[in-house]
């Protein structure tokens, strides 16, 4: 069985691929190594797998239909985990066209391949950002999601809708996983866990948006990978499922935990909340527990410790 992982050289994708390969599964990684953050980091994320006979790396773009045709005609792909995307919330306000092209059109292209090649299992990486400015906590999959506050979030909501259509119309089994602020080793450099670690370690200023009371449901990357593996295995017909930790952490506590682990004080400057940022995310994970048997295990202290150890090494 071959699994295609799009965005496989990125943060979550590279961890997923490690796990799939360690389970003896053949993996094709499709990634365009764009420069949203250093392509060199992405190359490092997967370098250790290049000599694995079960691993194929294809450098290419999900918006390139000719390339997708070649990949799908040449390979018997059984399942797709679609993680490739433009992933930053704030930059999406500056370049909504690029986000729309990659995240919506790119997703459609892959679903078309799934339809044409009768691929039965498709995992779509959605995001907690689809809950937008919703006030009701925790966020539940049954809540309305009409209040996105960034183009990025809109592309993820659109992706879910297109997935629903492909599932209902063509019978592709699709799980849309709403990830909640994923962190850990190889973490994205544009996200707070890595950014704060680096800036505090180097004695530089960190910008704290708002008064520090904003909350995020940080989810450790191995828990997310476990949720993806469970989705691949169960492959429900069409489900939207929150993959969070279910324990939101205040920004102030988050920063002080990093300070303790690094043994260094943060030099904090307060800034207003930027456009597109939500005040809180908090996942109701009862559906993930029920349908997938998902059970996140890593606490924020343990997860940040692992992130910091990796950062230091
Ligand atoms: P990442 O940026 O590290 O990984 C995404 C990968 O996709 C990158 O390696 C990038 O080069 C690749 N990519 C981007 N555009 C591409 C294209 N057009 N063609 C081929 N490859 C392309 O991000 P990540 O944090 O690993 O996120 C993975 C997925 O999970 C994304 O879809 C993201 O939107 C979603 N997500 C992530 C989080 C999080 O907290 N990390 C939260 C919610 C949703």
Residues flanking ligand 1, CB < 6 Å? 6-7, 9-13, 30-34, 42, 61-63, 83-87, 102, 106, 125, 127, 179, 181-182, 188
> Mapped to the 3 state alphabet, what secondary structure does the chain carry?
CEEEEECCCCHHHHHHHHHHHHCCCEEEEEECCCCCCCHHHHHHHHHCCCCCCCEEEEECCCCCHHHHHHHHHHCCEEEEEECCCCCCCHHHHHCHHHHHHHHHHHHHHHHHHHHHCCCCEEEEEEEHHHHCCCCCCCECCCCCCCCCCCHHHHHHHHHHHHHHHHHHHHCCEEEEEEECCEECCCCCCCCHHHHHHHHHHCCCEEEEECCCCCEECCEEHHHHHHHHHHHHHHCCCEEEEEECCCCCEEHHHHHHHHHHHHCCCCEEEEECCCCCCCCECCECCHHHHHHHCCCCCCCHHHHHHHHHHHHHC
For residue 263, what pLDDT band results from cuts at 50, 70 and 90? very high
Tell how far the Cα of 87 is from the centroid of ligand 1, in angstroms. 5
Residue 301, pLDDT score: 96
Q: What percentage of residues in the chain have a pLDDT greater than 90?
A: 95
In the block, tokens 């019978």 appear at: 171
Find the 305 Cα to ligand 1 centroid distance in Å: 23
Predicted pLDDT at 141:
98
pLDDT at 99 over 80: yes
Nearest-atom index, ligand 1, CA of 12: 26
Query: For 16-26, what is each residue's pLDDT tens digit?
Result: 999 999 999 99
What pLDDT was estimated at residue 55? 98
Q: What is the pLDDT of residue 273?
A: 85
Contact by Cβ (8 Å): 221, 187: yes
Residue 51, pLDDT score: 98
Residues of the chain above pLDDT 70, percent? 100
Retrieve residue 286's tokens. 């009862």
Confidence grade of residue 275 (pLDDT, cut at 50, 70, 90): confident
Q: From the CA of 264, how far away is ligand 1's center (Å)?
A: 31
Tallying the residues shown for the chain, one arrives at 313
- Residue 138: the pLDDT is 97
The CA-atom distances, in angstroms, between 41 and each of 9, 37, 47, 88 are: 9, 8, 10, 17
What residues are annotated to the active site?
Answer: 152
Average pLDDT, the chain: 96
Contact between residue 246 and residue 217 where contact means Cβ atoms under 8 Å apart: yes
On the question of pLDDT at 155 being above 90, the answer is: yes
Per residue in 36-90, pLDDT (tens digit) is 999 999 999 999 999 999 999 999 999 999 999 999 999 999 999 999 999 999 8
Which of 18, 84, 103, 249 to probe ligand 1 with, by most ligand atoms within 8 A of CB?
84
Q: What is the pLDDT of residue 279?
A: 86
Cα 202 to ligand 1 centroid, rounded to whole Å:
27
| Averaged pLDDT for residues 236-241 | 98
Find the distance separating the first CA and the last CA of the chain, reported in whole Å. Answer: 35
pLDDT value, residue 231: 98
Q: Which residue has the tokens 């200023």?
A: 205
Q: Which pLDDT belongs to residue 278?
A: 80
Task: Give the pLDDT band of residue 1 (cuts 50, 70, 90).
Answer: confident
Protein residue with least CA distance to atom 9, ligand 1: 10
- Measuring from atom 29 of ligand 1, which residue has the nearest CA? 83
pLDDT tens digit string along 169-191? 999 999 999 999 999 999 999 99
Residue 5 CA to its chain's centroid (Å):
12
Q: Which residue do the tokens 């500056």 mark?
A: 94
**Contact yes or no for 301/307 (Cβ under 8 A):** no
Tell me what pLDDT residue 223 has: 98
Q: Whose CA is nearest to atom 34 of ligand 1?
A: 87
Residue with CA nearest ligand 1 atom 41: 182
Q: Phi and psi at residue 35, in whole multiples of 5°?
A: -100, 30
Using pLDDT thresholds of 50, 70 and 90, give the confidence band for residue 277.
confident
Average pLDDT over residues 4-24: 98
At 305, is the pLDDT very low, low, confident or very high (cuts 50, 70, 90)? very high
Nearest CA to ligand 1 atom 15: 85
């Amino acid at each position: 069985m071959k699994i295609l992982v799009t965005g496989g050289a990125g943060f979550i994708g590279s961890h997923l691929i490690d796990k799939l390969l360690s389970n003896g599964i053949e993996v094709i990684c499709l990634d365009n190594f764009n420069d949203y953050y250093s392509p060199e980091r992405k190359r490092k994320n997967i370098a250790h797998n290049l000599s694995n006979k079960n691993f194929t790396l294809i450098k290419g773009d999900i918006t390139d239909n000719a390339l997708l045709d070649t990949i799908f005609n040449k390979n018997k792909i059984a399942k797709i985990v679609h993680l490739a995307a433009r992933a930053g919330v704030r930059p999406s306000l500056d370049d909504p066209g690029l986000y729309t092209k990659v995240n919506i059109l790119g997703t459609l292209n892959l679903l078309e391949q799934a339809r044409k090649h009768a691929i039965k299992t498709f995992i779509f990486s959605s995001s907690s950002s689809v809950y937008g400015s919703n006030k009701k906590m925790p966020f539940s999959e049954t809540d309305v999601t009409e209040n996105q506050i960034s183009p990025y979030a809109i592309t993820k909501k659109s992706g879910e809708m297109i997935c629903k259509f492909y599932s209902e119309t063509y019978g592709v089994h699709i799980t849309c996983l709403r990830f909640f602020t994923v962190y850990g080793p190889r973490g994205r450099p544009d996200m707070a866990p890595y950014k704060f670690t680096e800036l505090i370690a180097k004695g530089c200023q960190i910008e704290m948006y708002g008064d520090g009371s904003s909350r995020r449901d940080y989810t450790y990357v191995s828990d997310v990978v476990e949720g993806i593996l469970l989705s691949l295995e169960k492959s429900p017909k069409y489900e939207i499922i929150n993959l969070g930790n279910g324990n939101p952490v205040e920004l102030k506590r988050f920063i002080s935990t990093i300070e303790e682990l690094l043994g260094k004080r943060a030099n904090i400057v307060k800034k207003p909340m930027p456009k597109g940022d939500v005040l809180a995310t908090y996942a109701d994970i009862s559906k993930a527990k029920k349908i997938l048997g998902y059970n996140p295990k890593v606490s924020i202290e343990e997860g940040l410790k692992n992130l910091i150890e990796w950062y230091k090494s």
